[in-house]
Structure 1
Amino acid sequence: MVKHTGRPGYLQIADDLRAQIRGGSLAPGAPLPSTAKLAEQYDASLSVVKLAVGVLRTEGLVIGQQGKGVFVRDAEEQPPAADSTSEVAELRAAVQDLSLRLAKVEEQLATSTTHRSGRGSR
């Protein structure tokens, strides 16, 4: 069941399904329950469940087969579990770097705009 924790429901469902896959409850090659069954199980809408399964697809944990369903990928095909602490640190560093670069671009833009407006008033 999706809880009212402030974390989006689709992420809560993805977290639970991911834990089942990593823990072996959902074995490689096993089909995920249908979207309707998952929606009932988690007391969520079909669109929320589809978003959760989409997260797992993006992570490479499951794969869809047209007309057959969504299946857990084989363990050797799955990416290794990410170390969330190092991943967050990497993301923070990337955001800080992008912030600095953006500040430089904005400064250059402001400087070039000032020079242009100065030319027209001569």
Structure 2
Amino acid sequence: MTLIQDERAPYVQVADTLRAEIAAGEHLPGAKLPSVKKLAERFGIADMTVQSGLRVLREEGLIVSSPGRGTFVRSDVDPSAVGAAASQGGDDMSAQVQLLTSQVQGLTARVEELERRVTASSVPD
């Protein structure tokens, strides 16, 4: 699959395509994405352009990269919230708010679990 010539920069097209795939469940939370090299081959573009597209998704909080391990969909990503953002064009303010709300809810649940563990471990026997 090569990128379609449109007004969007190629790296934006990469980010939009991968975001839509995450929303569709093609890349589940915690899943490893294909390597930069494989994505570059798939889209018919340079590695640096793919890296720029991945940077956009990292900045959005959808993926994380681990040197030597690869790039992964964040385990706390809610694909339904990503789907709403992707279907509304990504730049739409309400879609961004919905995505951030989902991420905050996930982080809140994680903090509550950590607080529960700390409280439970600090109770004397």
TM-score (norm 1): 0.64
- Partners of 2:32 and 2:71 within 8 A in 1: yes
Distance 1:69 1:76 in 2: 17
Length, aligned pairs only: 88
Deviation (angstroms), 1:76: 4.7
Counterpart of 1:87 (choices 89, 93, 114) is 93
1:4 aligned residue = 5
Q: SS at the partner of 2:72? A: strand
Q: Structure 1: any 5+ residue segments left out of the alignment?
A: 89-122
Residues 52-103 of structure 1: CA deviation (Å, up to 9, x unaligned): 000000000000112101000124578x444558518xxxxxxxxxxxxxxx
Distance 2:77 2:4 in 1: 32
Q: Structure 2: any 5+ residue segments left out of the alignment?
A: 95-125
Identity of aligned residues (%): 38
2:45 aligned residue = 44
Distance verdict in 2 for CA 1:77–1:25, change over 3 Å: closer
Distance 2:42 2:92 in 1: 33
Structure 1 residue runs of 4 or more that deviate by more than 2 Å after TM superposition = 75-78, 80-86
Q: Between the two structures, name the one with larger relative contact order (CA 8 Å, sep ≥ 6).
A: 2
Amino acid at match of 1:68: R
TM-score (norm 2): 0.62
Structure whose CA Rg is larger: 1
